[in-house]
Amino acid sequence: MGAQAQHIGPAEAAKRLGVSAKALRVYEEYGLLAPVRTAAGWRTYGAEQMRRAFDIVGLRRLGLSLAQIARALEGDAATLEPVLAAQQAKLEAEIRTMMEMAEKLRGFRGDLASERKPDAAGLVSMLSANAEPVIAFDLPWPWAGERFELRERRRLSHIVGPLGSGKTRLATCLAKTLPNAVFLPMERVEKPPRRNIDATHRGRVEAAITWIVDDAGHESDALLTLITELADERPSAFVIDMIEQGLDRETQEALIAYLRHGRCDARPLFFLTRSSAILDLGAVGPDEAVILCPANHNPPSVVAPYPGAPGYEAVATCLASPEVRKRTEGVIAWRP
């Protein structure tokens, strides 16, 4: 009785780990985690299972696929080395930038303490380094010419909004404004995947599909079409209408993991989504942006992905699970 009391159910285990109960099932199906079964067949997790689960979740957050995690847990150090090297390089670059800013601020404070006139132009320049928008254009209907500006261009930008909010129009404007960008409409899933690609392009597609399948995703024409387009090196950016179209939950989760961690190039992706599997607000990284098209047709704006931020609740209410999204697939907004 005492030993059994130390075990917890999937819901409590998931809460402590900061993941969903579905994630625990995926880890189990992939052979990474083996919960203890009660006499009635219910899954439970003891100290040993939780220690292993914490290792899995930690490696997942470093960007490893499920296949890579399996190798790492078996002691394959070569799997971890490139991931840790990339994380270290990123952190060191951020530290250097922060130290440079701190030193400049120290100088400004020193000027104030010595009653010297501070370098106001330098201070303004440092604090408004990103003042000039990197993307700017006049919005079409339903915004009637209002200005849209992005101060930073992130690697992944999620575009979210309720039906009729104009997010598809925003996406098409982005595709026209960004130099050499390509717009991928939802109709892509109705067309057969491109086959006439060269060997280099095909190799990139196969590597990406393998990464996603290793991460518990499922092959399909919809996935192959999407990855074939994204593996084309000619466009400088992609804008994708409903990136989750035609993909099941497991594939959506593996796809967004691939876009965050497995994709090597840094070309920006802008994509519409209403799936909570694609846009998990608790998993948004530092090189991602969430752009909300409000229901009241105020201009689209960037929303910080944490509770209490302006627009956060509006974004959250636009998202639904892949299962719910599938039931409402094909529903469109219509205005006379």
What is the reported pTM?
Answer: 0.69
CA distance 47 to 39: 19
Q: Does a cis peptide bond (omega within 30 degrees of 0) precede residue 142?
A: yes
Interval 97-131: pLDDT, tens: 778 778 878 877 877 777 777 666 666 666 655 55
Hey, what are 304's tokens?
């910080």
Interval 186-212: pLDDT, tens: 999 888 888 889 999 999 999 999 999
- Average confidence (pLDDT) per 10 residues, the chain, 336 residues: 68 87 86 91 93 90 81 83 77 78 79 73 61 81 83 91 92 94 93 87 93 92 95 95 94 93 87 95 88 91 88 93 70 49
